[in-house]
Structure 1
Amino acid sequence: MQQVADWLKKLGMSEYAERFAENGVDLSVLRDLTDQDLKDLGVLLGHRRKMLRAIAELDGVDNGTPKPTAATLQPNDTAEFRQVTVMFSDLVGSTALSARMDAEDLREVISAYQNCVAETVSRFGGFVAKFMGDGVLIYFGYPQAHEDDAERAVRAGLELVSAVNNQKTGAVLQTRVGIATGLVVVGDLIGSGSAQEQAIVGETPNHAARLQGIAEPNTVVIAENTRKLLGNLFELEDLGVKDLKGIPVPANAWAALRPASVESRFEAFHATGLTELIGREEELELLLRRWSKTKAGEGQVVLLSGEPGIGKSRLTAALLERLAGEPHTRLRYFCSPQHTDSALYPFIHQMERAAGLAYDDSPQAKLDKLDALLAQTSTSAQDAALFAEMLSLANDDRYPVIELTPQQRRQRTLEALAAQLETLVRANPVLMIFEDVHWIDPTSLEVLGRVVDQIPTLRVLLSVTFRPEFNPPWIGRSYVTALTINRLGQRDIDAIIEHLVGNKGLPASIRQDIIERTDGIPLFVEEMTKAVMESEGEGEARRTASAVPPPALAVPASLHASLMARLDRLGAAKEVAQVGAVIGRQFSYALLASVVRQREPELGSALDRLIAAGLLFRQGAPPRATYLFKHALVQDTAYGTLLRSQRQELHARIAKVLEQEFQETIGAQPETLAHHYSQAGLVDLAIEFWRRAGARSADRSAHHEAVGHFGCALDLVGKLPPSHQRDERELGLMLALAVSLIAVHGFGSIRLEECAVRAKELSDKLDESQSRFAAQRIAWNSSLMRQPLPRTAALARDLVGLAEEDGNPAKLAVAHRASGYSLLIAGEFREAAEMLAQGATIADTIPEGEFAIYGEHPSMVCRAYGGQVKILMGFPESGMRLIEAAVAHARQQNNAHSLAWALGVAAHVSQSQHEPAATARFASEAIETAREHRMPQWLALGERCKGWAIHQLGDFEGGLNLLRQGVRRWYETGAVLHTTHAEICLAESFLVQGHAVAARSYLSAARAHCASFGENYLAAEMDRLDALLFQCEGAPTDMVEECLAKAIETARQQGARLFELRSATALARVIAEHHERKARDILAPIYNWFTEGLGTSDLKDAKALLDRLK
């Protein structure tokens, strides 16, 4: 064994001696080692190559591993990403030298030059990759990386210029140096013999060579990417933008003149000013104070925000540690970047972890475990059934069958989740931690919002962590504390190092290197210190402390070096970490074992090593164990080391295993398979599973998630080659997306309009009846809210024509609904009533499933708008019965959108009847539903109507503010339709308060819109308000009477008996001041026409006036 140790020492690799001895590697075994053997021993790639060459030279005996041949031109599968600084050095005037010197003298000059270059750059850690006559290619950062490779390269370049110039040869020598930094793929040795070299693929080597080409003799020219890594360490001259051959875009170049006179590296890298750095004691004390309030019955929320690695999780762990001895209940939830569109993902996985569900449990065992968990909170059988369904567990008849619509089921599930918290606090105060909320799915955010709303009355401390890109909607509440976690100061960094080092000791110079290079980020301090302590010997520790970051994908460059150093030391365990990283932040032993295909002892050993290295947490024991990367950055680093081809192969393998061995995932989380198929480049499969995910989300009223899923599918469809099948898939996805877009953004959104245009293009191209009709219907929906009514009405007539041509009853119902509503808005009430009644009658005979493609049921919509027409035509009771039937039908629909829609229409119609109490009631529920499901269009309509109602009931300021807010929200959705109604509501509200100028302005806007858009159904109301404004402004009575007479005539022509009555009442009131009999003759006929609704506001008002005129 000592011989092997001596051999390793001679190679400068004594750090492996103990590992070789532990594995019984003596001199007789040494000759038989292969590259894979060395990899399993944890030997780094570059060290493996050196060892294999040295082994081959032992006693002149080859080790049996074939050397690369000249035909081996491509890097092999061990290639990896690196950030490398490349130097290209060239001898100036070599052609002239060859003309005046003989070959032997020239050989000596070039040899002296090459030796000078090699000796100089080696002192700075550079690696001579290739001699090319009078040029030399040098790498900094490979095969041995340092954190300051860019600095080393520039210092070496400056030193090289001086050293070459001072060479004692028969000629004065000068050199030019070009330096560039960038992302490259570095592989194994290629070629053989004298042609052998370290392969590097990327733009950076060419960039360095081109910069050398523009350099003056005895000058070092550097690229912009290199300059950014230098801070103020050097005095630089800006050479401006250079157009370099082979470089896609012009780039800045800089001449490095000399090292700058700076006090320290820290100063050089913080020349623009220091960020305030503080410790963590204050933050922890704040959390503990909030905990004290919580125990006293005042629930608290603390929002912890900070950049990745800043210490949010560390602070949370400290809180958990401080509270360990106190009686309380802990709840921890983790969000995932792969599940931002997976409804209730953190809640599902928290419950699965809490219940101890294992993948190979039988369905009954899983339900038993769930029951045991829920028994702790005395959960009702109904709620237990909902939770079982949420976890995708089939009911084995132990729970009652829940007869709820999907929307009601979703609502009850969210309520049940929130109720769990209320039960838990009865026993002990609760510490609830929600981590990485910047990755939360929309539905979980709803639940979290509900929890935040409950907190003041519960003994709960809720700690929410997130990155700065997330904007929490709860800031400003009295019980919510927002806390930004800042970087640490030097004293705090030193304290972390001291804690990690313990009694092992650490040289002061290395400690100072860590302090200077960690830039105050706690995670980086922790990880770099661990990497140093795991190194074998001070030399490697010093190298680790100054390791250079390889390519930073989602990981800060300052953290990459430490994490990569630790991953490289894991040996075979590194591959396990990489596979786990591809699976996701959290992964099960069962899935990992199926993917890596390692035997249990080896896999278990690798996972234990990852846990011991502090990279993973483990819950449970194999084979039921679940693993979690300690930080998302650890996962990102492991993932980022893989080449695209390697990642694709792993994603494909994971997806295949999930499909074959984890069937429950396909049904419960199709987006998981979609993600892996997408990353694997298996476009067809990815599209199909994104489509399934979208459909599943839409069916559960999770329309925000559905939009995300369908959007992912469409992005991939765009990558398919043109074909009939491709167009069919895109059209199907567009039609499905449109339904969720309407729910999420409203009928007037730009996205819906774009979707409608594309769907129309595709349907015309495909010329297929069903899709053509569906696309035309989306076009009508979008046009209705954004285009003048004549265009919309034409589209509606086309829909009727297509439906009649096809003879399909479902299409006829949809077409009648579109045409009927277009007629309603145009003020053609009689025709609208007939069309909507026919639509409802047809729709009642058709199964609801046939309307799924349209995202609405014509029976509900036709009754809602049919009820509105009935009321306007003078049948308030009949109309309200239709509207109530529509609301009842909507409560049974498949998503919340139908309910918000029906309630919005009911509020709108009640407002048209001047019934503020009913308006407020319907609008309040519409607002609640729309806000809960984030449906801006119906929220805007609800606020608009409720604001009007509140104003009419006497709260002028509050009502007007809400009305204005609703109108503003309505326009923000992109909708133009109902501008007339919005402006009339505002005009009427200002008129009530006697603000004639403002009222006139809004009424003028309403008239202008009506004229340009064709929204004529409120024409009579505009004439009536015009008259009331004239009256308020003190205009002559005959002008007021003329306007009211015009309003009555318009209403008669449209068949709008309600508006006729309202205007007749106003006219009678004006005339009654001088001619009571004439006033009665005007009002009595229209009043007597009504046979129902005598208790409604307008009829009661008219009756009171008639009674007074007797």
Structure 2
Amino acid sequence: MNLDFRRALDNVERAELIRRLAEFEPAYLFKHALVQETVYRALLKNERKRLHLSVAANLEQVFPDQLDENAARLAEHFWLAEDWERAAEYSQRAGTNALRHFASLEALDHFERALGAIEKMSAPTPLQRYEALMGWAEAAAKYRPYAAQLEHLARAEKIARELDDKPRLARTLYSIGAAHTAQGHGMRAETALAECFTLADELGDERLTIIPAYFMGMATLPHNPRGAIPFFERAIELAQRYENQDMEAVSWSAKAWALAQVGEFADARAAIARGQALSARVKSPMVASDVDLFAGWAFLEMGDAEQGLHFGQSGLEKAAAAGNIDCVCGAHLCVGFNQLSAQRLPQAQTAFQEAIRESEYSGADVIQDIGRAGLALAQFYSGRSDSNAVLEQSYAQMQALDIAMSRVHIAQALSAIYLQRGDATRAEKLLTDARELFQRNQMLPSLALTLETLAQLYDRQGRMGEAQAARTEATHWEKLFAREPELQ
């Protein structure tokens, strides 16, 4: 800093128009924003650009070892100087730094600026576009509507394929799989994730399969919980090998949810304990909310609504604090079904209404459908007689998408409605179909509950032998829920 400029700054400081930010750092702050704006507007545009470029160049020169720390400031100055290439470079670095510290919303702003700068560049490279698109998509996960995420990811995928860049393609595909899973489209997710495994084999890098294994489990879980368990076990094994405690914690919790659905309650409780033991060391607030949320779903499946509500509300609070719209939608749903199980019907209705509202913004179609079904269930048990149309539509939608989740509750309510109308044939067919689904997928708690409901139907019809057989089979499955844990 030259002597004349130093003296000029001292004079302005004595006039109390600016103040120094730190004793040993050449940085100043205007005491009044109005003064700053007046001075800035007095400059001609070209002079402003020249000054921003000069400030940025000086920052690079004076702090060459702190470029990452100053990336956001540098990006701002280069943007205002209309040096688009360096604005894109430093915006990208600022976004990556923010993601490293789990500041996803801040990262989104930086990546949006990077994309904007790239659009203004005369000849951006495909890799510059790719990195900005993927940075945006990774920051947007759980924060922006799925349609926007998938649009950015499709553009990134196209670039990776055109470059024949297999590591980048794998990175893109597991993000695509994650978005489809969160949206509730498991089959679409499985297609993308299966290609991830193929690419990981071709590259000989099993670390590329940690996240895809977890998301493949999540994509499989809604229609085949037994089939999801090996994927979660693989994710746990790899996460332990490569010391990824976030993925290990959430995979244990997701595995607990799957185990609870197939009736292995003791193992499910042990898996919850493993996930919770790791949760204190989880770095990502998004992962922390998922760990609690999946525990809430697991306890619901095990019939412990109070514990389910405790963990569901904890997951909701953590998700809301982190702005995690993905988990917020699912958490409201989890709270709603636990409230329903505890027969707190007004609270259940409120939770389902929130799940519907949040999922309308995020685009989580399946959560929205299940939320409507849950709301109709709560209204039915509150005495409303006009819920059957919504329940029938939701049940048909879940059949079409091969989703087993919550179908036992809908089947129970619809069968009761049909019996009230004297349509025992329709009620029996609904319960028989549900029984076959749960038996095929080894979902023993739902199977036992369906058998109990069938037994009640047979009682009303005087079919005592069939009622006794259904109850005997239900009791047989219920005895299996008390088996000892096998987890090490």
Q: Which residue of 2 aligns with 1:731?
A: 130
Q: Which residue of 1 aligns with 2:225?
A: 829
1:870 maps onto 2:271 in alignment: no
Q: Which residue of 2 aligns with 1:1054?
A: 441
Deviation at 1:676, TM superposition (A): 1.6
Tell me the secondary structure at the aligned position of residue 386 of structure 2. Answer: helix
More helix as a share of residues: 2
Tell me the secondary structure at the aligned position of residue 380 of structure 2. Answer: helix
Deviation at 1:886, TM superposition (A): 3.1
Aligned-partner residue type, residue 415 of structure 2:
A
Instruction: Supply the distance in 2 between the matched residues of 1:626 and 1:795 (Cα, whole angstroms).
Output: 49
Q: Which residue of 1 aligns with 2:298?
A: 909
Instruction: Supply the distance in 1 between the matched residues of 2:28 and 2:198 (Cα, whole angstroms).
Output: 60
Distance 1:1083 1:721, change over 3 A: farther
Aligned residue runs from structure 1 range 232-631, under 5 A: 594=1, 598=4, 600-608=6-14, 611=16, 616-618=17-19, 628-631=29-32
CA contact (8 A) 2:130 2:159 kept: yes
Aligned-partner residue type, residue 139 of structure 2:
S
Tell me the secondary structure at the aligned position of residue 283 of structure 2. Answer: coil
> Unpaired segments of 5 or more residues in structure 2?
484-488
1:1015 maps onto 2:411 in alignment: no
Which structure has more relative contact order (CA 8 Å, sep 6+)? It is 2
Tell me the secondary structure at the aligned position of residue 844 of structure 1. Answer: helix
Tell me the secondary structure at the aligned position of residue 681 of structure 1. Answer: coil
Q: CA RMSD in A?
A: 3.1
Distance 1:757 1:891, change over 3 A: farther
Q: Which residue of 2 aligns with 1:928?
A: 317
Deviation at 1:889, TM superposition (A): 3.4
Aligned-partner residue type, residue 208 of structure 2:
K
Q: Which residue of 2 aligns with 1:941?
A: 330
Instruction: Supply the distance in 2 between the matched residues of 1:623 and 1:1047 (Cα, whole angstroms).
Output: 73
Distance 1:837 1:1029, change over 3 A: farther
Instruction: Supply the distance in 2 between the matched residues of 1:1066 and 1:672 (Cα, whole angstroms).
Output: 65
CA contact (8 A) 2:289 2:319 kept: yes
Q: 2:151 aligns with which of 754, 761, 783?
A: 754
**Structure with greater Cα Rg:** 1
1:693 maps onto 2:80 in alignment: no
1:714 maps onto 2:115 in alignment: yes
1:799 maps onto 2:196 in alignment: yes
Instruction: Supply the distance in 2 between the matched residues of 1:716 and 1:805 (Cα, whole angstroms).
Output: 35
Deviation at 1:875, TM superposition (A): 0.6
1:964 maps onto 2:359 in alignment: no
Deviation at 1:736, TM superposition (A): 2.6
Identical columns (%): 17
Tell me the secondary structure at the aligned position of residue 997 of structure 1. Answer: coil
Q: Which residue of 2 aligns with 1:1025?
A: 413
Q: Which residue of 1 aligns with 2:486?
A: none
Instruction: Supply the distance in 1 between the matched residues of 2:155 and 2:183 (Cα, whole angstroms).
Output: 17
Deviation at 1:794, TM superposition (A): 2.4
Q: Which residue of 2 aligns with 1:50?
A: none
Tell me the secondary structure at the aligned position of residue 120 of structure 2. Answer: coil
Deviation at 1:782, TM superposition (A): 2.6
Aligned-partner residue type, residue 364 of structure 2:
A
Distance 1:952 1:597, change over 3 A: farther
Instruction: Supply the distance in 1 between the matched residues of 2:463 and 2:391 (Cα, whole angstroms).
Output: 30
CA contact (8 A) 1:824 1:832 kept: yes
Deviation at 1:774, TM superposition (A): 0.9
1:766 maps onto 2:163 in alignment: yes
More strand as a share of residues: 1
Aligned-partner residue type, residue 473 of structure 2:
P
Aligned-partner residue type, residue 1053 of structure 1:
R
> Unpaired segments of 5 or more residues in structure 1?
1-593, 850-855, 1096-1110
Q: Which residue of 2 aligns with 1:840?
A: 236
1:676 maps onto 2:82 in alignment: no
Q: Which residue of 2 aligns with 1:986?
A: 375
Tell me the secondary structure at the aligned position of residue 241 of structure 2. Answer: coil
Instruction: Supply the distance in 1 between the matched residues of 2:12 and 2:190 (Cα, whole angstroms).
Output: 68
Deviation at 1:602, TM superposition (A): 4.5
CA contact (8 A) 2:257 2:268 kept: yes
**Superposition TM-score, scaled by structure 2 size:** 0.87
Aligned-partner residue type, residue 995 of structure 1:
R
Aligned-partner residue type, residue 87 of structure 2:
A
Aligned-partner residue type, residue 846 of structure 1:
Y
1:783 maps onto 2:180 in alignment: yes
Aligned-partner residue type, residue 848 of structure 1:
N
1:885 maps onto 2:274 in alignment: yes
Distance 1:874 1:607, change over 3 A: closer
Instruction: Supply the distance in 2 between the matched residues of 1:620 and 1:891 (Cα, whole angstroms).
Output: 37
Distance 1:686 1:621, change over 3 A: closer
| Count, aligned residues | 482
Deviation at 1:707, TM superposition (A): 0.8
Distance 1:1087 1:598, change over 3 A: farther
Instruction: Supply the distance in 1 between the matched residues of 2:47 and 2:332 (Cα, whole angstroms).
Output: 53
CA contact (8 A) 1:789 1:1014 kept: no
CA contact (8 A) 1:923 1:946 kept: yes
Q: 1:919 aligns with which of 283, 291, 308?
A: 308
Deviation at 1:834, TM superposition (A): 2.7
Aligned-partner residue type, residue 205 of structure 2:
N
Q: Which residue of 2 aligns with 1:643?
A: 44
Deviation at 1:881, TM superposition (A): 2.5
Q: Which residue of 2 aligns with 1:1081?
A: 469
Instruction: Supply the distance in 1 between the matched residues of 2:219 and 2:339 (Cα, whole angstroms).
Output: 30
Deviation at 1:908, TM superposition (A): 3.0
